[in-house]
Structure 1
Amino acid sequence: MKPSAPIVLYRSRISGHAHRAELFLSLLGLPYTPVDVDLRAGEQKQPAFLARNPFGQVPVIDDGGTVVADSNAILVYLALKYGDARWLPRDPLGAAAVQRWLSVAAGEIAHGPAMARLAKGFGLPVDLPGAVARAERLFSVMEQELQQRAFLAGADATIADVAAYSYIVRAPEGGISLEPYPALRAWLARVEALPGFLPMIELPKAA
């Protein structure tokens, strides 16, 4: 199934949350039109954008008049509407395994590698040592689990992997090395080998 018109994706290219949505659109082979939102200028806090997402955050999609905000919610919507059950299993245990990692994406990943990247890459006043410690604890758990299976929720890629990938692959931008985690790095490579993969851009280097 394909949308009748390209899905509009409101994004910022440096946002890992927006990259999740764009990556999944690409993996599904869905036509979409990106609209860049200037976060530094506060465009996401203006009335026109707040009408799409009152929380003032990217990403948001508009699928023929159906507006969905929040990166994980977008993944669920796209998986159920346009994907097959591989991306979001319909059985209770499979769905729970995916949901577990969506919660991790909103919790440990957001407050670990994503927050460290905000501190180092954007100079935001956050607890960098705490974020690094959370990321390292998370990566240790993921390393153990990914020694047992190819992807986060099982043998096949799901939206769990899409939700986790973006900020983890850019963890070094927050000063967190991926070298101690070979199974984690092998998982990143498996995600990158998926047909339709779209890379997460690097932050511009400081002059």
Structure 2
Amino acid sequence: MGLSRRQLRLLMVSGFSLFLMYIMYSSKGDNPSSLSDSRESANSIISANPNAKIDEAINNKISKLYQQEQAEKAAEEKAAVDAAAGIKVTEEIDAIEEDFDPVKELMQIRALAPMIVFSKSYCPYSKRLKKLLTEHYEITPSFFPVELDKHKHGKLLQEHLAKISGRATVPNVLIGTSNESKGGCDDFLNLHESGKLATMLNEWGNKKLSVKRLETPSNV
């Protein structure tokens, strides 16, 4: 069984003490050449007060080791607290996600408008599609955009959309009661350029959506 950290430190202090005592007392010499040398050595040792110096050195060493031990203990306690906090946050997130029902959420979103554009606020293709629909078409009722990057459960909702609509990317447009994706930015741009987008939107809306193309120059 190995020595504990405290036992190792005590062993170090003991060894350090013995080393200092050896250094302090070895200066006496085993064979003094004269009585005067012996007296001078004795006086030197007495005046140096070796016991006090050894005690001071030992106390300083013990103090440094204690401070180091306290610092390491505080760091270990902080790491344990941080780990516990991280576990708690993860558990709370998991609990929230377990309560989220993407099927129910999608049904509630679809009830808001016949045409839903699932988008992300930073996505350039999403921005381009929303600009196309807004500036070149009169859609009644207006399409409803859902910014997945700002939705509380956007990641889970997008995963569910990928399964039921066949499209995992954004923008992703759902119209009417069908769960099939009507396309992304490029699909809508192609229909727009061919002059068929308004017709297709009305057909997909099944009389629940009224779409007219505005007579404006196309610069999309």
What interval of TM-score do these two structures reach, taking the shorter chain for normalisation? 0.3 to 0.5
Structure with bigger gyration radius: 2
TM-score between the two structures when normalised by the length of structure 2: 0.31
TM-score between the two structures when normalised by the length of structure 1: 0.33
